[in-house]
Structure 1
């Protein structure tokens, strides 16, 4: 009996031991979970990312992609909160410019340069204008996903009826605006209830009115002063469009989408839009439209061959526990095949060379991307290219400028004060 009990105890011990071993093996074989945060919560957009994630998981059964989406403003707040905690996403959306540089300076993101060196075809598959804005001191910290340019889109019939052609200079541009106004046509539909819209105008006007080296120095947190008179001049050009009645009434209480509806309905002759909006415009306008970049301004020091626009894309958290898997997913997301699918599904301009072509895109998108490629440089969106403490002053002041509550000089005094505070903080770091 004692022998039976001892054998039973041995078998029981071996059973428990094997159960623990199996449990451990199961845990060791559990798939890696990557948190992926993007900024397109609309169902049709999010569904695309879900499908790409499922395709990746089929090829990598040891990885699961957990997707979360937040819109333009919510994602900024979410990242500010999460990046300082253990809840940060492994892969997250980022604008280029100062928005990305802030993460780079704080050491919050992974240096992707070693991965590009291992896979040079991935790096070389991107347009330079898409990849370089995510680089700092020759190191790459982000991957571009879309690339955008900003253009005036116009109603061809309205232009033809008023004898107008695409302007090459600011003088030709404003002369055309005045002609439209005199004919009883509102020249430009403009929705500035969210001041990123006016920020896009000032992005281009600053680039034209301020020398490149001065602008680069001012946009850097540690050295920004914003004292060049070109900044005031840029604001004056912008305010003139409003004061002369070239914008629709009540621009500060109008949404961008409402301005687009005005354009579709023939209530305005033009709107200032991003390249990614071209597909929707074609669906509504059916060929009755053309586009041109913000015209050059005679006598200003900025490079006339620059274009307003920027890439946006993704970065990998420096705190991720699974960097190789995170980078593998980014490489998969931005390969030629999936970039082609993205262009077909959503009509977004891709920075992957050859991803936008005549087979998968309408002619206007191809031409727009050609204009981006041919530009000598990009003036990145102002609100993502300067410190957030400065943009939090600059953008609301643009609304006050249009309302007539502040002069151009007063706006720049506010900006200069914010820049001085940012410089002081940077000096302490």
Structure 2
């Protein structure tokens, strides 16, 4: 616009000079006034054009927010899992966000977890994607959706708003950083633990397990001894109590014993590659221990018995299981229990690496409103806002370290454990833990299904552990994951 003004002035001056030389000063004065009026009109139009446009929440990496171009209202979609415990928080979060961002409307879309993979695949292929979602809320995970080129690079946004995300530890942020680019903002960080029924341990005269992950006396042999003393079998199935439920996925069991089904590079490249199932003796040790709990020691239910005791609800919640290895969602899943319960480390083994579940917020690469979506993600991650209310509503372990004190106090009230013990057991899980395999290896739902087909046969005593591992190795090698 400034260029237009400059040309207009030059035009007037030039023409004025020429006219002076041709028709004389008197007539020039009249014509000159006409040119000046034209100049004023040009300048007025130029200034109107310069001031009449509004951006859509700032350029890429900006933090403007506020809505669409020219004040137009923008709608973004937030996809979440169907969860009765979350819906009120989700609705309130949208209400609070829209109140602060009147030009951004958030449409909530809920999908059952088992349907998310299929629905998302369809959405991605048709480019009708949700704007904000979590890549780990499906049965696949982050690596699968990054491999589909479905996730927006958030690096410029994070760099621009680094201060607002400073409470999230770097090691958690790094989980979703690939080749220097950030694709997700952690919302929660959950470890793995052993949960136990305090009342049943009291009845059996057993001390509560420690909360220190470096206490090597709390090992798998000690846990087995506890499980035997806690198992009750009166001959009536309805009265039976099992000492220990250890139903973790096969590869995650190997991590608890220092093993692994896959090579280290599988977790960085996202490509499974050649499995290492038969290369590490700790793999067989882990799977054998789990099978022995069921078949030899009979302190854990076989698949059929587990289905039966689960008919009445979660078997730990109904008192049918004295101890259970589970993810940290047990902190909120077990809140309604009618008995006292506590939390301990995964029993010690050399090289033990308990599983972490760090869920991120993601933005779709094909989002039509990435700036507005980022404003919403920032709002979700705010430790003084939605992130805090999320923790309060769900008891989920927060990703933002500034909320950990409040979380520990909340868990102390629920479990009866001291705040220090709650902190210690949680911190140890992250000190030794590693992110879940299904989050980091592409198309893991197919890999998991292949493994589980054989694991069921092992746990039912239809195949030996050695035979089963050989079969799993063969079947994984035959997979076509392209």
Shorter-chain TM-score category? Answer: 0.7 to 0.9
CA–CA separation in structure 2 for the residues paired with 1:81 and 1:409: 40
Report how many residues are paired: 385
Deviations 1:341-388 (A, max 9, x none): 112122221111122434862314965465333432423334444433
| Superposed displacement of residue 38, structure 1 | 1.1
Work out which of the residue numbers 227, 236, 240 in structure 2 matches 1:177.
Answer: 227
Gaps in structure 2 of 5+ consecutive residues: 1-67, 210-216, 235-239
CA–CA separation in structure 2 for the residues paired with 1:52 and 1:161: 44
Q: TM-score, normalised by structure 2?
A: 0.71
CA–CA separation in structure 1 for the residues paired with 2:463 and 2:440: 24
* Conserved? CA contact 2:79–2:132, under 8 Å: yes
Q: Compare 325-334 and 274-283 and name the one that shifted more.
A: 274-283
Residue 290 (1) aligns with residue 345 (2)? no
| Superposed displacement of residue 141, structure 1 | 0.6
Residue 232 (1) aligns with residue 274 (2)? no
* Conserved? CA contact 1:151–1:292, under 8 Å: yes
* Conserved? CA contact 2:75–2:107, under 8 Å: yes
Question: Structure 1 residues 310 and 175, CA, compared in 2 at 3 Å: closer, same or farther?
Answer: same
Paired residue secondary structure (2:75): strand
CA–CA separation in structure 2 for the residues paired with 1:383 and 1:272: 18
Residue 80 (1) aligns with residue 134 (2)? no
| Superposed displacement of residue 415, structure 1 | 3.2
| Superposed displacement of residue 112, structure 1 | 1.1
CA–CA separation in structure 2 for the residues paired with 1:309 and 1:353: 16
User: Which is helix-richer, 1 or 2?
Assistant: 1
CA–CA separation in structure 1 for the residues paired with 2:406 and 2:311: 28
Question: Structure 1 residues 294 and 132, CA, compared in 2 at 3 Å: closer, same or farther?
Answer: same
Aligned to 1:322: 369
* Conserved? CA contact 1:153–1:289, under 8 Å: yes
* Conserved? CA contact 1:129–1:373, under 8 Å: no
* Conserved? CA contact 1:199–1:383, under 8 Å: no
Aligned to 2:434: 379
| Superposed displacement of residue 204, structure 1 | 3.8
Residue 267 (1) aligns with residue 317 (2)? no
Deviations 1:173-220 (A, max 9, x none): 112222333786733464xxxxxx8344641433523269x6424554
* Conserved? CA contact 1:149–1:368, under 8 Å: no
Aligned to 2:105: 64
Paired residue secondary structure (2:114): helix
| Superposed displacement of residue 69, structure 1 | 1.3
CA–CA separation in structure 2 for the residues paired with 1:248 and 1:279: 24
* CA RMSD after TM alignment: 3.1
Question: Structure 1 residues 417 and 290, CA, compared in 2 at 3 Å: closer, same or farther?
Answer: same
Question: Structure 1 residues 78 and 98, CA, compared in 2 at 3 Å: closer, same or farther?
Answer: closer
Deviations 1:308-336 (A, max 9, x none): 22111221111111111111100101101
Aligned to 2:20: none
Aligned to 2:26: none
Deviations 1:152-176 (A, max 9, x none): 2112232233332326111111122
Work out which of the residue numbers 159, 167, 175 in structure 2 matches 1:125.
Answer: 167
**Larger Rg belongs to:** 2
* Conserved? CA contact 1:145–1:312, under 8 Å: yes
